[in-house]
Amino acid sequence: MTLSPARHVRRALFGALAAAAVAVLSLGLAAPAQAATYVSGMDVSAYQGNVNWTAAYNNGGRFAYVKATEGTSYTNAYFAQQYNGSYNVGMIRGAYHFARPNISSGATQANYFAAHGGGWSADGKTLPPALDIEYNPYSGGTCYGLSQSGMVSWIRDFSNTIKAKYNKYPMIYTTFDWWNTCTGNSSAFASTNPFWIAIYRSTPPTSIPAGTATWTMWQYADSGTFPGDQDYFNGDMTRLKALATNHD
C-alpha cells in the first residue's frame, strides 16, 4: 500500500474552530497555557520521514507516538528510525494503529498491529499501544458503515485483544465529535482505556467521552516546536513513567 493520507486528510474534518486555533498558533502566539503540569511530546508517521530526535529532545520533547500500521496491509516504512530513534535519545515512546473498521475485525487489526510494532512491555519506556479511531478519510462514511453499537463492539474487540496480549489496555485517540457521532458518546471504555483527545486550540479539552474522569493526552496542533503533531501528557514525568510501567 502507498503512504496513507489518513493522518492528514482528517485535518480538514476538525472544523472551523480547529482551523482558527492553528492559525492563531501559526502567528507565533503562545502555545497552550499550562495551568496544570503537562509533559510535552509529539506523534509522527511516515509523512515526517527520518526525524531528528536529538533536536526534538533538546527542544523539550519527552514522549513520542509513532504510527506503525493501518488496517491489515499498511506499515510505516520509517517506523524503526522513528520508534527506536525516539527511545535512543531518552524519550518514552509508543506505537499507534490507524483503524479501518470496515475492512476487518478489531481483533484482526489488533493482531496485525501487534505483529508490526504495536507491542508493549512494562519497561517504563513504552507507552500503551494506541488505537487511532476517527473520521474515515476513505469511502464508506464517517463511521465506516457501522452503527454506534457496532462501533463500540469493534473497539472493544481491538481493546480486549491488546489487553489479552500485554495486560495493558490501549490508549484511544479520537475527537469528541467523532466519538459522540459514531459511538453515541459511549462510556464503555471509561474505566479501562486512557483517552488521547484531539482538539486544536489553546485550552485543554473539556468535552471528553462519557464517564471519563479526564483526558490523558491532548493533541493540540498539527505543527509547532516538534516534528509532526503537538501533544501534551496530563501530568508530570513520574505519572508518564507510571503509565509506561504499570500493568492494568
Q: Which domains does the chain have, with CATH numbers?
A: 6-243 (3.20.20.80)
- The pLDDT score that the predictor gives to residue 101 is 98
Count the alpha carbons within 13 Å of 164 in the hemisphere toward its beta carbon. Answer: 9
Q: Cell 493526552: give the residue.
A: 217
198 in Cβ contact with 14 (< 8 Å): yes
Give the best-scoring range by mean pLDDT among 6-15, 31-40, 188-197. Answer: 188-197
Residue 3 confidence class, pLDDT cut points 50, 70, 90: very low
By mean pLDDT, which of 8-22, 80-94, 101-115, 147-161 is the weakest? 8-22
- The pLDDT score that the predictor gives to residue 10 is 46
Q: Which residue has the higher pLDDT, 13 or 99?
A: 99
Q: Rounded to 5 degrees, what angle do the CA atoms 212, 108, 48 make?
A: 70
What average pLDDT does this structure show over 136-159? Answer: 97
- The pLDDT score that the predictor gives to residue 100 is 98
- The pLDDT score that the predictor gives to residue 26 is 36
**Is residue 21's pLDDT more than 70?**
no
- The pLDDT score that the predictor gives to residue 231 is 98
> Cα separation of 157 and 191, whole Å?
16
H helix intervals, the chain: 6-9, 16-26, 53-58, 79-88, 106-115, 148-166, 176-183, 237-243
**Is residue 27's pLDDT more than 90?**
no
- The per-residue DSSP string of 9-40 comes to HGGGGG-HHHHHHHHHHHTT-PPPP-SS-EEE
**Is residue 17's pLDDT more than 90?**
no
Residues annotated as part of the active site: 43, 132, 134
Q: Average model confidence (pLDDT) for the chain?
A: 90
> Cα separation of 73 and 229, whole Å?
24
- The pLDDT score that the predictor gives to residue 35 is 52
Residue 32 confidence class, pLDDT cut points 50, 70, 90: low
